[in-house]
Structure 1
């Protein structure tokens, strides 16, 4: 089943269930409602899922930059592209907390 056909199928199921509640027996209306819920919960997702390795961190600013550079791309497309570019390029180490680039350390209650 195509992912976009799911939306009209569920809407038709809701209408049939509502009609069944008014004009059919409760058993037939219940079966129509059950079938609608089953299709809605087991069908393909309308929203994409980014296929990246678990635990991969992607910077939201990089995703925004990618989407500005590639109009029409989805968030999932941008996440996958940014994750792929990060895995292909060597990771740059973050500055040590004591270096001047890192900025001042946060204050604590004892300060």
Structure 2
């Protein structure tokens, strides 16, 4: 019995290590690709034009597009943009959904 337990401990440790590794990869993956059809974009808020239109100078977005200056994004709702309380120069992380004619922002977070 003790010998069987002694053999099981390294195997159990290995399984836990693999599970932890997989969870870390999953968390990193979700940070960049939050869900089907959604992408994360970081950049600097430049201006607001109207109720839902915002202009962002954004970094490269993996799997979506290269870095771009002054790109227009549409917020999903006016309230989403209002509650973000953005000022020019704020660094932001946007979660966007790519539509046929535009990029729709579904989440806005200020970052450091």
Bigger radius of gyration? 1
Q: Which has the higher helix share?
A: 1
More strand by percentage: 2
TM-score, length of structure 2 as denominator length: 0.29
* Higher relative contact order (CA closer than 8 Å, sequence separation 6+): 2
